[in-house]
Structures are given as C-alpha cells and as structure tokens.
C-alpha cells in the first residue's frame, strides 16, 4: 500500500540556499574560535603597524622624531600636524621636489601602462586569432621571456640608446621616453600572456562570423576582441600601473642625470643625505603610497585578478 501524504499546492522550487552552513571542509587544524580570532587580529595589527607608524611620523614635526617614538602620539594626538605636508607642497613645482617628482612619475607610468595594454592586446590577438604558421612558437618564446631579469638588458639598451642618438640626434638615455620604452618592453611578456589567456576563452566562431561578413582584421580587433577583452585589459592596466609607479631601478638608470626624479628616486635620494630628514622621507613615502592605494581600493578586484593571472595559469 502506498503511503499518501497530503500534498499542498506545489510551490516553485526554492533556489539554492544563499547562506550555507559555515562548516569548514578544509580540514585544517581547528583551534577554538577565540584563539583563531586573537591570532588573526594580532596578525592584522602587526601588518598595519608599519603603515600607521609611517603616517604618524609624517604627521609629527621633525623635532619630536628624535625625542620620542611615533607610538607616543597615540596617547597624545594633539601633537599631530600637517606641517610637513604643507612645507613640501609649498615648495611647489620646484625641480626635484615632491610635486615635480609626482608629475614625473605620472609622465612615465601613464604612457607605459597605456602602451603595454594596447600592444599586448594587439599581439595577443594576432597570436590567438591569426592563422599564420609559427604562432605557438612565438607564444612559447614570450612565455620564456616572462622571467628574464631586466639586468640582462640594462647595459646593451644604454648602448643602443647611444647608437640611436648618434644616428638620429635623439638619445633616449636620460629622458622620460627612454624610461617608458624600457618599461613597455619588459611589461609586454606578462601583458601578452594575460591577454592571450583571456582571448583564448573567446569562441573563435565570433570572429569567424565577422570574417564571413567581410570584416577586416583591424575591424574585428577594434569591434569584437577589444571590447570583449576589457576586463582583462583593466586588470593588466592596474597591475602595470602599480608596477611601473613603484619601480626604482629602471628610472634610476635611464633618467641618468635628469634633474627630474620619480617619487621612488626622490625617496631613495633622501637616504643618501646625512641630514636628519625623516620628515621628508615619511611624508614623501606617504605621498608615494597614496596614488597606488587609491588605485588599489578602487579596482581591487581587477588588481587581484591580475596578480592571480600571473601566478596561476
């Protein structure tokens, strides 16, 4: 005999539960909740201390710096002041000053980022959707170039710049374009890799339909691949921006004796002076951190995606 249960009017099937149980299936060692939180809070505090310390140092006058540690300001916040920032900014755009260095950094970072993204997209497009032989070999070469250290290129590029200078009269060494060119070249392997992986996920049929309709390669690139590739391009731009903004070595070498500095060079120079200048160092460092922080917090998701793409295939 069948058991019958009263059936009510069928309700539409419930959707998958939004909050599943917080059952950890990772099977790691299970400390108690309290200990776990203590450990992680302590870690978080430890991680924040350096940045907060730097911020507070930059908000204290230099005289206080030698007398007492920045942590004393936590109990005496009245001593905090913006005078350091005011001093630096009041210098205005004096060459070699903070604001001038900020602008120089921008002048290098923005073009480098844009160029890398555009050229990477073009190259990746050709590698994925082109039909010429030898594509896979070229891609492997680019993958090989991913970890090549810039040290192997520094001296010869200086030599090349010189040669170029004697040929055309413009020696990129010591100029901003000289720095940008180098950054673009060494940003390309990663950029191409990132865009290649993304474009590989686009079904070839999309472009084939376009080809049948008579579109040329440039149109296909501009109107299909590029818009579809925007998320990956965004990740690349942000990753590249922060990378170039924070660079020291390339700018140090290729700006040569240029009176304009990047922010990183500006900071580096401060460590070479013998004067007690932590107020400049801390304030300058805070200013140099400011822009990447904004980029990071605005585009966190894209930045993390870029980082992950570099690490995991």
Partner 1 sequence: MASVTFDHVVKRYTSDLTVVKDFNVEVADKEFMVLVGPSGCGKSTALRMLAGLESISEGQIRIGDRVINNIAAKDRDIAMVFQSYALYPHMSVYDNMAFPLQMQHMKKAEIDKRVKAASSSLGLGNFLDRKPRALSGGQRQRVALGRAIVRNPQVFLLDEPLSNLDAKLRAQTRIELQKLHRDLGTTFIYVTHDQVEAMTMGDRIAIMNAGILQQVGTPGDIYDHPANIFVAGFVGTPTMNFVAATVQDGVAKASGFQVKLPKALAAAKGTLGFRPEAVTDRITDPDSAMEMKVDVVERLGSDQFLYGKVGGDSVTARVDPRIKVEPGDSIKLGLDTRTLHFFDSETELALL
Partner 2 sequence: MAEIGTEATPRARRRAAAVNEGGNPGGGWRDHLGSLAFLAPGAIFLLAITVYPLVATARNSFYDATATNYVGLGNYQEIFSTSSILVTFRNNVIWVLVFPFLVTFIGLVYGVLSERIRWSTAFKTIIFMPIVFSATASALVWRTIFDLDPHIGIVNAAIQTASDWVSPPGLYPVDTSSGQTVAGLAATGVSSAPKDSLESSSTVTAGNSIELGLIGVSPATLQLTGSQTAVVPTQSPGAVTGLVWRDFSPTNPTAKGQVLPDELGFAGLKLTLLRSDGSSAGTAVTDAHGDFLFGGVGSGDYKVQIDPGNFSSGFTGVFWLGAQSLTPTSSLNQTAQALLSVPLVDISMILAYLWIWAGFAMVVIGAGLASLDREVLEAARLDGAGEWQTFRRMTMPMLAPVLIVVIVTMLINVLKIFDIILNMAPGSSQGEANTLALAMYNFGFTGLGNWGLASALAVILFILVIPAIVLNLRRIRG
Q: Which residues in this chain contact partner 1 in the complex, by CB under 8 A?
A: 1-21
Considering only 3, 34, 78, 312, the residue that binds partner 2 (CB under 8 A) is 312
50 forms part of the interface with partner 2 (CB under 8 A): yes
Least distance between partner 1 and beta carbon 205 (Å): 25
- Given partner 2, partner 1, none, residue 3, with its beta carbon under 5 to 8 Å by kind, binds partner 1
Considering only 184, 194, 236, 237, the residue that binds partner 2 (CB under 8 A) is 184
Q: How many CB atoms lie within 10 A of CB 189?
A: 19
Closest CA to 247 of 232, 268, 277: 268
**Tokens 């170029």, residue?**
164
Using CB under 8 A, which residues numbered 238 to 257 contact partner 2? 242, 245-249, 252-253
Least distance between partner 2 and beta carbon 201 (Å): 15
Select 33 or 131, whichever has its Cβ closest to partner 1: 33
- Given partner 2, partner 1, none, residue 180, with its beta carbon under 5 to 8 Å by kind, binds none
Per the CB < 8 A criterion, the answer to whether 196 and 272 are in contact is no
Q: How many CB atoms lie within 10 A of CB 21?
A: 7
Cβ-based burial of 240 (10 A; exposed 0-12, middle 13-18, buried ≥19): buried
Per the CB < 8 A criterion, the answer to whether 237 and 248 are in contact is no
Using CB under 8 A, which residues numbered 115 to 134 contact partner 2? 119-120, 122-123, 125-127, 129-132
182 forms part of the interface with partner 2 (CB under 8 A): yes
Least distance between partner 1 and beta carbon 1 (Å): 7
Residue 13, token pair as written in the block? 């099937």
Nearest-angstrom CA–CA distance, 105 and 50: 24
142 forms part of the interface with partner 2 (CB under 8 A): yes
Select 89 or 217, whichever has its Cβ closest to partner 2: 217
Select 2 or 63, whichever has its Cβ closest to partner 1: 2
Nearest-angstrom CA–CA distance, 100 and 2: 86
151 forms part of the interface with partner 2 (CB under 8 A): yes
84 forms part of the interface with partner 2 (CB under 8 A): no
Per the CB < 8 A criterion, the answer to whether 238 and 302 are in contact is yes
- Given partner 2, partner 1, none, residue 140, with its beta carbon under 5 to 8 Å by kind, binds partner 2
DSSP for 47-87, written as a single string: HHHHHHHHHHHHTS-HHHHHHS-GGGGGT-GGG--SHHHHH
99 forms part of the interface with partner 2 (CB under 8 A): no
Reported as type and span, the H/E element at residue 210 is: helix 204-212
């Amino acid at each position: 005999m069948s058991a019958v249960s009263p059936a009510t009017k069928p309700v539409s099937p419930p959707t998958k539960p939004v909050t599943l149980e917080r059952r950890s299936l990772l099977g790691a060692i299970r400390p108690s909740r309290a200990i776990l939180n203590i450990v992680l809070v302590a870690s978080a505090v430890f991680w924040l201390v350096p940045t907060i310390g730097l911020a507070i140092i930059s908000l204290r006058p230099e005289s206080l710096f030698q007398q007492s540690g920045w942590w004393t300001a936590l109990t005496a916040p009245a001593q905090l002041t913006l005078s350091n920032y005011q001093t630096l900014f009041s210098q205005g755009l004096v060459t070699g000053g903070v604001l001038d260095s900020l602008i120089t950094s921008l002048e290098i970072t923005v073009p480098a980022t844009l160029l890398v993204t555009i050229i990477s997209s073009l190259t990746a497009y050709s590698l994925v959707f082109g039909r010429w032989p030898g594509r896979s070999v070229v891609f492997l070469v680019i993958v090989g170039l991913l970890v090549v250290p810039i040290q192997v290129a520094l001296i010869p590029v200086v030599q090349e710049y010189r040669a170029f200078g004697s040929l055309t009269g413009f020696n990129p060494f010591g100029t901003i374009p000289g720095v940008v060119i180098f950054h673009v070249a060494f940003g390309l392997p990663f950029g191409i890799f990132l865009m290649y992986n993304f474009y590989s996920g686009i079904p070839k049929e999309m472009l084939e339909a376009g080809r049948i309709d008579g579109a040329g390669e440039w149109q296909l690139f501009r109107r299909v691949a590029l818009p579809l590739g925007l998320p990956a391009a965004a990740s690349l731009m942000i990753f590249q921006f922060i990378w170039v903004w924070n660079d020291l070595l390339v700018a140090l070498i290729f700006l040569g004796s240029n009176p304009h500095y990047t922010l990183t060079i500006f900071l580096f120079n401060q460590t070479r002076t013998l004067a007690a200048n932590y107020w400049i160092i801390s304030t300058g460092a805070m200013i140099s951190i400011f822009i990447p922080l904004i980029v990071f917090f605005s585009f966190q998701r894209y930045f993390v995606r870029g980082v992950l793409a570099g690490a995991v295939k």
